[in-house]
Amino acid sequence: YTPIPRPKGYRVSWHANPAVEPHHFGQSHPMKPFRLTLTKQLVMAYGMHHAMDLYMTRAATYEEMADFHNTDYLDFLKTIIPSDMQSSDQSDSLARFNFGDDCPVFDGLYNYASLYAGGTIDAARKLCNNQSDIAINWSGGLHHAKKAEASGFCYVNDIVLGILQLLRHHPRVMYIDIDVHHGDGVEQAFWSTDRVLTVSFHKYDKDNFFPGTGALDSNGPAHPLNPGAHHALNVPLNDGIEDDDYIALFKEIIGSCVSTYQPGAIVLQCGADSLGCDRLGCFSLNVQAHGACVAYTKTFGIPLLVVGGGGYTPRNVSRAWAHETSILVDAANIIDPNIPDAVTFRNHFGPDYSLFPPLSDMRRIENKNSRAYLASLVRTIKEKLRYIQG
Ligand code: ZLV
Ligand code: CA
Ligand code: ZN
């Protein structure tokens, strides 16, 4: 490969620890930390690691995680072991903290959760100290975890912990979530403050799609004394949304939000389950369209924390996150769309060996988002922005 040069005029930092990658949620569980290994192999095969400052992430300390999480939840997380899943004297706690099929207890769980959380906290601190302009942690983005509850494959809410760090330096932080699921844990954590504006794009079907929250009219408790009222925005979508509509919607909404709210930092959750052909998702986005949202967010030149999230077809997750890394280091137009021969696990990318296989044609899902529906979403959200001040 040829080393990718450093981007001109700004610094990008990469936060990772390979010890996250070998964790296993269990036999048929869709969350596969191996997708991080694939992502890293692509990034390195393209020589992109030369364009960034590389930081080996440490585990978040118990005290750092207690900035958001309850200590009785953390104590449980720290001591629970897989054999407790069957034990009757743990069943009350397991139920109370929402452990089960979605959130199993697996070997090294506390290590896994504290490592991905440490990555996001470190990334946020690099931005605060002005040692980085764009900080990336693909192992983070676990947006469903609650103060005292695991949820939707998420145990510790690294995004909330990262935003809490950014709030030490920035009066206002904006959170953008393009995972196919609603970013409920982050929304709820900042439900009562006007210092964080959360915006989630997601598939919404109250009764049939997890987590069932994130309706258009769900914008924070509208109590007159709640400063956080109106500071949660939701973009509920139906099955099958395609590239051009999604990009146009993202630009219209995010452009208006940034110019109104004037955030000092942006956190972007890049859940890759919004891609076409995802095992759990139902949108029809190609890698380029998912990446176009990252590219647009970067154009504001605001300190940017980029995290991963969902994504259940590992070969496509790694394609998207490698492409997005190239966008962030300003090298998208110089990398070869044919996946290099030297990539470890290259067999995962056949038969096309392309960074951009046409995902939208591979599994046709009818687009249930009419132009009129999308236009009404934009109109309604722009009206909601009138309640928000920068
Ligand atoms: O991508 O799960 O639908 C960020 C993220 O946003 C549910 N869970 C819950 C509510 C009751 N159920 C079903 C429980 C199923 C447990 C096992 C699966 C196993 C195999 C294949 C698919 C699933 C599954 N679980 C699909 N959807 C769910 C959701 C949770 C989705 C979390 C998304 C996380 C990382
Ligand atoms: Ca989302
Ligand atoms: Zn998701």
pLDDT of residue 221: 87
Check if 50 is active-site: no
CA 247 – CA 339 distance, rounded (Å): 25
CB-side neighbour CA atoms (13 Å) of 85: 14
Label residue 12 by pLDDT band (50, 70, 90). Answer: very high
pLDDT of residue 159: 99
Question: 297 phi and psi, to 5 degrees?
Answer: -65, -35
Which letter does DSSP use for residue 103 in this model? S
Looking at residue 372, its amino acid is A
Atom nearest to 101 CA in ligand 1: 16
Q: Whose CA is nearest to atom 3 of ligand 1?
A: 210
Whether omega before 211 lies within 30 degrees of 0, making that bond cis, reads yes
Cβ-proximal residues to 369 (8 Å cutoff; 6+ apart), any chain:
237, 238, 240, 241, 245
Asked if residue 102 has its Cβ within 6 Å of ligand 1, the reply is: yes
pLDDT of residue 224: 86
Asked if residue 116 has its Cβ within 6 Å of ligand 1, the reply is: no
pLDDT of residue 362: 86
Q: Could you tell me if 48 and 140 are in contact, meaning their C-beta atoms sit under 8 angstroms apart? A: no
**Both ends of the chain: CA-CA distance in Å?**
45
Question: Minimal CA–CA distance to 321: which of 335, 331, 306?
Answer: 306
pLDDT of residue 140: 99
Residue 290: is its pLDDT beyond 90? yes
Q: Specify the range with the lowest mean pLDDT, choosing from 14-23, 85-94, 275-284.
A: 85-94
Catalytic residue from among 182, 202, 231, 323: 182
